[in-house]
Amino acid sequence: MTNKGRAATRLSRRRMLDPVCSRKARARRATATVEFAVAAPLLALLLLGMVEYGRLVMVQQLLTNAAREGARVAVADNATSSDVESAVKEYLEQHSLGDVEVAVDPPSPGTAAPGDGVVVTVQLPFDNASWLASPLYLAGRTMTSRATMRREGLSGTGSSSDSSGNLQSGDNGESSEEGDDLLGDAGDVADDVGDVADDIADLPVDPPTDTGKDKDKDKKK
């Protein structure tokens, strides 16, 4: 078979296969379209879920930090619930978060006894913090964070400061007597140490004795 015959044969085969190949190509394109139509909604739901839960973790950490800021204010002297609420809201406003509920236990933290725990609770609905107009998975959920710190000051009935900054002394009679006893014992110990030091100073000091080298020099002389 000549070259022209071979070329004609290949051309005829190609013409026969072109319709088949084109039909298969169209079928593959249709299959890809159907597969994308099925998978796209699932991918969109997965993406939105990742956005919502990522925002949840972020806001929860901010609420935890805000509760700690409020607890630091609550344990200070003369602190009030309004001071704590202002500190919490001021921190969250820096991160564009609002409409939070702040609860303080006890309601008047400044009256808590030194060493007692003061609890600050911060609540925020997720709908007010979501990046989506309408949350899909976390709609209606309320995020809560709680921080506990101990009230500053000395435990027991010691000295405390009033709003004017003046010191108010409590019933410290027994403590004062114990302090006086300790000071008296310390004074007695100091007197004993002084007496020992005086005795050491009064001891006679012997002149230094000749060493072996001095004796050898005397023998040579």
Instruction: Name the nearest CA neighbour of 84 among 116, 59, 58, 106.
Output: 106
Has this prediction a pTM greater than 0.85?
A: no
Provide the pLDDT for residue 175: 42
Query: What b/e string do you get for 93-131 counting C-beta neighbours within 10 Å, with b at 16 or more?
Result: eeeebeebebbbebeebbebebeeebbbbbbbbbbebbe
Q: Cβ(143)–Cβ(123) under 8 Å? A: yes
- Locate all alpha helices (DSSP H) within 75-172, ordered by sequence: 81-93
* CA 71 – CA 116 distance, rounded (Å): 12
Provide the pLDDT for residue 187: 62
pLDDT per residue as tens digits for the range 147-167: 999 987 655 443 333 333 333
Provide the pLDDT for residue 11: 54
Neighbouring residues of 152: CB distance < 8 A, sequence distance ≥ 6: 75, 76, 77, 114
Provide the pLDDT for residue 32: 80
Look up residue 37 and give its amino acid: A
Provide the pLDDT for residue 3: 59
Strand partners, 123: 101, 144
Tokens of 56: 């949840």
How many CA atoms within 13 Å lie on the side-chain side of 51? 14
* CA 37 – CA 16 distance, rounded (Å): 33
* E strand or H helix that includes residue 125: strand 117-125
Look up residue 118 and give its amino acid: V
How many CA atoms within 13 Å lie on the side-chain side of 134? 0
Strand partners, 161: 167
Backbone angles phi, psi at 161, to 5 degrees: -105, 140
Tokens of 137: 């998975």
Which parts of the chain register pLDDT below 70? 1-27, 153-221
Q: Provide the residue count of the chain.
A: 221
Provide the pLDDT for residue 31: 77
